[in-house]
Amino acid sequence: MRHNKGLKALKIVGFVILGIACVTAFGFAVMLLWNWLVPELFHGPVINFWQALGLFILSKILFGGFMKDHDKKNNWKRRKWERMQEKMDHLSPEQKEKLKSHFDRCGWGRRWERDEETPAGKPAE
């Protein structure tokens, strides 16, 4: 049990260090790109690391946000799968079996069976 707690703490420390490294790398990248392009093209000021980091955070807030909308991504995947199922409704039983054997080799066989068991009109979970 102690080994698992130690491993979990080590992973947390690793993620914190990785996060700090990524923020630092993005800050330096913004600073270098700004100082390379803006003074030359627009006669703007040269900025330091902290100003670049603030600019990066401001741009994320204004243009990208920090959280991704995972629900939109999942809905897109579900719609894609539903379109494929609609296309497969028009296949003959032999063609369906051939395609199913191909999916089994690719690792999609379990997904296929789960969706066949799902009642019509209800999305698979």
- Give the SS3 label for residue 34: helix
Q: Determine whether 109 is exposed, middle or buried from the number of CB atoms within 10 Å of its CB (0-12, 13-18, 19+).
A: middle
Report CA-CA distances (Å) from 8 to 11, 18, 19.
5, 15, 16
Predicted local confidence at residue 44, as pLDDT:
93
Predicted local confidence at residue 121, as pLDDT:
52
Q: What average pLDDT does range 102-122 have in this prediction?
A: 62
Indicate the domain borders of the chain.
Answer: 2-67, 71-117
Helical ranges in 43-108 per DSSP H = 49-59, 70-88, 93-106
Predicted local confidence at residue 31, as pLDDT:
96
- pLDDT interval class at 7 (50, 70, 90): confident
| Digit-coded pLDDT (tens) for 44-96 | 999 999 999 999 999 988 887 665 655 555 677 788 888 888 887 888 888 88
| Digit-coded pLDDT (tens) for 19-48 | 999 999 999 999 999 999 999 999 999 999
Predicted local confidence at residue 60, as pLDDT:
86
- How far apart, in whole angstroms, are the C-alpha atoms of residue 124 and residue 106? 20
